[in-house]
Amino acid sequence: MHQIDDMDVRILSQLQRDGTLSVDALSERVHLSRNACWRRVKVLEERGLIRERVAILDAEAAGCGLSVFIFVRAASHDADWLKTFREAVAGFPEIVGVYRTSGDLDYVLRARVFDVKAYDRLYQKLIARVRLADVSASFVMEEIKETTAIPLSALGRGGAS
């Protein structure tokens, strides 16, 4: 199996900054031949370390400037409820993240909507599709940091193999 080394980390770091880099540009930035760079990227994709390459849009410009965290307590903890919940949240493009959590809350959802009225429409549709014990929301007033980049410090040092 391919071990992650410092060159892989450099490649991943560059691709996290700009997924549109051509193999030529990437190989130049990491100081590796074009063919060797291409082979490494292919291996990283095959291993699942590179899941996909996407464009990151400006939410405000796209009409989804309000970020909302939705806190959910499940009405039930059985397989049927979970299936219904998963299908419901998967069906809402406004819901951009769903996390099962420990502690008092069962799930934290992150949504992107135009405004509070749009959130209310989302809320009404969500509770119509799945029974929830409790729902509350917090509206983001200021985004101080948001990134899709993950820290790569553990790679190459036993963090992945």
Per-residue pLDDT tens for 85-103? 999 999 999 999 999 999 9
Structural contact between residues 130 and 85, judged by C-beta atoms closer than 8 angstroms: yes
Q: Which amino acid is at 39?
A: R
Q: What confidence score (pLDDT) does residue 161 get? A: 46
The answer to whether the predicted template modeling score (pTM) of the entire model surpasses 0.75 is yes
**Over residues 23-46, mean pLDDT:** 97
Strands (DSSP E) along the chain, which ranges? Answer: 66-74, 95-100, 107-113, 132-139
How far apart (Å, rounded) are the C-alpha atoms in residues 123 and 105?
Answer: 17
First to last CA, the chain: 7
Q: In degrees rounded to 5, what are phi and psi of residue 26?
A: -65, -45
Q: Which domains does the chain have, with CATH numbers?
A: 6-46 (1.10.10.10), 66-139 (3.30.70.920)
Q: What confidence score (pLDDT) does residue 157 get? A: 55
Tokens, residue 82: 């979970």
How far apart (Å, rounded) are the C-alpha atoms in residues 4 and 1?
Answer: 10
For the stretch 117-149, pLDDT in tens is: 999 999 999 999 999 999 999 999 999 999 999
